[in-house]
Amino acid sequence: MHAFDVLGDPVRRRILELLSERELRSGEIVDVVSAEFAITQAAVSQHLRVLRESGFATVRPEGQRRIYAVDTAPLREVDAWLDRFRAFWEPKLGALETEVARGKKARRDAQD
């Protein structure tokens, strides 16, 4: 499965967001994702399997539990692909940053 097919699903993106914060037990992931998306434990498990098989997540056994973590290698590949498009938005973001700084300075000067 292509990286963008994996990331195109909101449930899988949410799982990756959770895993970006820390390693989680599968039950913790199921609790959050089931509540937010109103899907079953089996459906969450299928999404976890896709993330594992596509390389976005790793799993390790810890006793009876499975501990999931994000694997950044596929995300670096996505980042490299996006790199060719950064030229379109980086100048605009730089200009926005300059305008925000000017606005902050103007507010500070007005308060003095």
43: containing domain: 3-71
Q: pTM, whole model, 2 decimals?
A: 0.76
Task: Name which of 47, 41, 75, 42 is nearest 59 in CA terms.
Answer: 47
Q: Are residues 54 and 104 in the same domain?
A: no
Query: In sequence order, what are the residues at sequence separation of 6 or more whose Cβ sits closer than 8 angstroms to the Cβ of residue 40?
Result: 34
Where is 81: in which H helix or E strand?
helix 73-83
Is it the case that residue 60 has pLDDT exceeding 90? Answer: yes
Evaluate whether residue 76 is within a structural domain.
no
Evaluate whether residue 51 is within a structural domain.
yes
Percent of the chain's residues with pLDDT above 90: 67
